[in-house]
Amino acid sequence: MGRIVVVGAGIIGAAITRELARDGHDVTVVERSAAASGTSGRGEGNILVSDKGPGPELDLARFSRSLWPTVARELREELGESFPAIEFEPKGGLVVSTTAAGAAPLLAFAAAQRSAGVRADVVDAATAKSLEPHLTDATTAAIHYPEDAQIQPVVATEAFLRSARLAGARVLTGHEVIGAVLDSAGALAGVDVRSRDGVTRSFPADAVVNAAGPWGAAVSEVLGAAIPVRPRRGVVLVTTRMPHRVFHKVYDADYVGAVESSSADLQTSSVVESTASGTVLIGSSREQVGFRDEFSTRIVAELARKAILLFPFLSSASLMRSYSGFRPYMPDHVPVIGEDPRLPGLWHANGQEGAGIGLATGTAALLAALIAGRTPPVDAAPFSVSRAGLAPFLAEVAA
């Protein structure tokens, strides 16, 4: 059992802090701003298995999804009724194609997912309409994913932190990591942090976990072993409240293509869902513009257009607000979870891109197992910093 500093109090850092504290470690989570103030507070709260093809990320997603019901129950029991609901809702996903050309790739994708153990049920148009009565008639194929779920990511983050505190962890917000403490062997032995008032202090640590999302590039660089995580901006539109007319997470089949793409240019694909409060969330856009966050009519118009293609009734719905955030994008599309061989003592839990809410539970369990030296619950090798696919990008940021 050791002293551990987790950097970043988004949902990944919060879930890890809780897991490590429950493992008996002495954990402090250091957050530059407030909890859930970055990526975690800017997304829809996706817990998806539907958007990933067979591979290590799907394995992690399935493992994470299997943990969520238990975690949600534990949090509710632990925190009581006065704590706001984390709104874990296993509502299922419905992926549709609306073009003739889109049908075959979607059906093939779903078949591959089924072979990897995902429930991906092909449904006919009539069944799709019974699942989503207000869906467009123009679907050419539809897959129902009963395992897809949704959560209120900000409340979930605060719940993880509250639970972690109850297990003995410390939450240090308003503190930025500004430097590394190295031992005589050159291993990471702690971090220097600075408060908003400019007071600096050192935290000795046997392990430091980089869970700073897209800001993790800067954090890992300050600590001495940079990882190539980059911000990938996304915009979400929020309508005014209305009677529930969207019952699943419904998205256009080209969403998968956008997620798996490496292009820096703007891509949009439609994701539509209701929230417990009655608003409808409309995503999604992906673009690599650094941390620049400027309003763009073009994105809003594209998102509106594509959402109306899926749900024509949305044409008369009112857009009330929009928000945007930065996903932690890893150039080879696989998260980095594990110790950094370049700097012993530095661990990463980063690069989940837009899937970090769903992957938080599995990421925390995997990282805790690795730190404790237990058998990992899923194969950890594909997430290693030293995997072959990441090497060229590591070389780039090291240069």
Partner 1 sequence: MTGGTPVGVLVIGAGPAGLAAAEAALDAGARVTLLDASDATGGQYWRHLPEERAGEHEARLHHGFARYERLRDRVVGDAACTVLLGSAVWSVERSAAAGSGFTVNVATGRVDAARAAMSALEPEAIVLATGAHDRTLPFPGWELPGVFTGGAAQALAKGERVRVGERVVVAGAGPFLLPVAESVAESGARVIEVVEANRLGRIVRGWAPKPWRLLGARAKVGELVGYVSGFLRHRIPYRMGAAVVAAHGTDRVEAVTIARLDTDWRPIPGTERRVAVDAVCVSHDFTPRLELAIAAGCALDERRFVVVDDSQETTVPHVFAAGEITGIGGVDLAMAEGAVAGAAAAGRTPSRNAVRRRRVFSDFAGRISAAHGIRSGWHHWLHDDTIVCRCEEVGYGRLCSTAASTDAEGLRSLKLSTRAGLGICQGRICGRTVEELLVAASPGDRFLDSVSTDRRPIVAPQRLGDLASLGDGPESP
On whether the CB atoms of residues 208 and 191 are closer than 8 A, the answer is yes
Q: 220: cis peptide before it, omega within 30°?
A: no
- Kindly give, in sequence order, each residue whose CB lies less than 8 Å from that of residue 183, ignoring residues fewer than 6 positions away: 189, 345
In degrees and rounded to multiples of 5, residue 304 shows phi and psi of -60, -45
36 binds partner 1 (CB under 8 A): yes
Sequence-separated contacts (24+) of 198-203 with Cβ below 8 Å: 203/3, 203/5, 203/28, 203/30
Closest separation between CB of residue 323 and partner 1, Å?
8
375 binds partner 1 (CB under 8 A): no
DSSP 111: H
Q: Select the span of 78-86, 127-135, 179-187, 341-349 touching partner 1 (CB under 8 A).
A: 78-86
128 binds partner 1 (CB under 8 A): no
Distance (Å, rounded) from C-alpha 179 to C-alpha 191?
6
Instruction: Give the number of other Cβ atoms within 10 Å of residue 78's Cβ.
Output: 14
152 binds partner 1 (CB under 8 A): yes
Q: How many residues bind partner 1 (CB under 8 A)?
A: 52
296 binds partner 1 (CB under 8 A): yes
Distance (Å, rounded) from C-alpha 360 to C-alpha 14?
9
| 226 vs 317, beta carbon nearer partner 1 | 317
Closest separation between CB of residue 325 and partner 1, Å?
11
Closest separation between CB of residue 268 and partner 1, Å?
9
Q: Select the span of 134-142, 176-184, 243-251, 315-323 touching partner 1 (CB under 8 A).
A: 315-323
In degrees and rounded to multiples of 5, residue 196 shows phi and psi of -65, -30
340 binds partner 1 (CB under 8 A): no
The one-letter amino acid at 153:
P
The interface mask with partner 1, positions 262-281, x = CB under 8 A, is: ---------------x----
The first and second tokens of residue 223, run together, are 């600590």
The residue ranges that bind partner 1 (CB under 8 A) are 33-37, 41, 79-80, 82-84, 152, 154-155, 157-159, 161-162, 165, 171, 173-174, 196, 237, 239-241, 277, 282, 294-298, 300-302, 304-305, 307-308, 314-323
